[in-house]
Structure 1
Amino acid sequence: MGCVRLYFPEWTRANRSRLWHHLSAPALAHHLLRVARRDGIEQAILHRVMAGYLKGQRVRHYHPETAGMDHPQCLELIDRRERLESFLSSHAEELRKVRLVILSVALPSQVQA
């Protein structure tokens, strides 16, 4: 099993791939959730970040009335390492906009599901 965490600002947009996207490109987080589901990734979670910062930015704190578009987001994908690597390769152009962390998970043989 493996885990990939993608970190990026909330304002990050997906590439324009359809006619309607030229009017308003979709948010990268929602786009990646959709394509992860379509590509058969076992689990995808978009974490709500209460506070944090991305490289080169100041610390941001979440508040519903003042949330800025540069507030950090984290999308976590969990699946077999091979499938995650395939996903990352297939969506390499979109993933240039994110900071990526890959975690390997080794489970004892009696615990694997």
Structure 2
Amino acid sequence: MPDGFLVQHREVGMLRIYLKPSDKVGPRRLWRAKPLYRELIRTAKVDGILNAVAQHTQYGFSNRGPIRENGSEIADPHLTICVELVGDRDQLDLFCRRHGDLLGDKVIVYKRLEHWAVTRR
């Protein structure tokens, strides 16, 4: 089987930002406040970040808080959600410095990764 594809690798980073789905941005009048996790993803898109997703959890704790879990009928608005951003380290660093007002007291973790691009030869 011929290898008709080229694999290119480059180092990137991943930020994981842990917060509550109930964390909001903006005025809280009349249900107008936006969910923080959505604002972080929207802002990451505007800033040119390679990838941004929100991952809901089922059970756990964050920032030394109590253990939370989703019930079978009602979701817990305080159970941790993870916003994951993937991009160049300098770009992720700039994102944090630029949007520190959104990140406040959140637990933020950085990890080095490799981005692989597969293209036809």
4+ long deviations beyond 3 Å: none
Q: Is the 8 A contact 1:43 1:77 kept in 2?
A: yes
TM-score relative to the length of structure 1: 0.81
Superposed CA deviations along residues 3-36 of structure 1, whole A, max 9, x for unmatched, are 000001121112x2xxxx4632211001111111
Counterpart of 1:5? 16
Q: Any unmatched runs of 5+ in structure 2?
A: 1-11
Q: Which residue in the other structure is 1:65 paired with? A: 73
- Name the residue aligned to 1:42: 50
**Superposition deviation, residue 95 in structure 1:** 0.6
Superposed CA RMSD: 1.8
Unaligned runs of 5+ in 1: none
Give matches, 1:14-29, under 5 Å: 14=25, 16=26, 21=27, 23=29, 24-29=32-37
Taking the aligned partners of 1:75 and 1:64, their CA distance within structure 2 comes to 23
| More strand per residue | 2
Match of 1:53 in 2: 61
TM-score, length of structure 2 as denominator length: 0.76
> Which letter does structure 2 place at the counterpart of 1:87?
F
- Structure whose CA Rg is larger: 2
Distance 1:13 1:49 in 2: 18
What SS does structure 1 have at the residue aligned with 2:95? helix
1:55-87: per-residue Cα shift (whole Å, max 9, x none)?
232222223622121111000000011111111
Q: Secondary structure at the match of 1:70?
A: coil
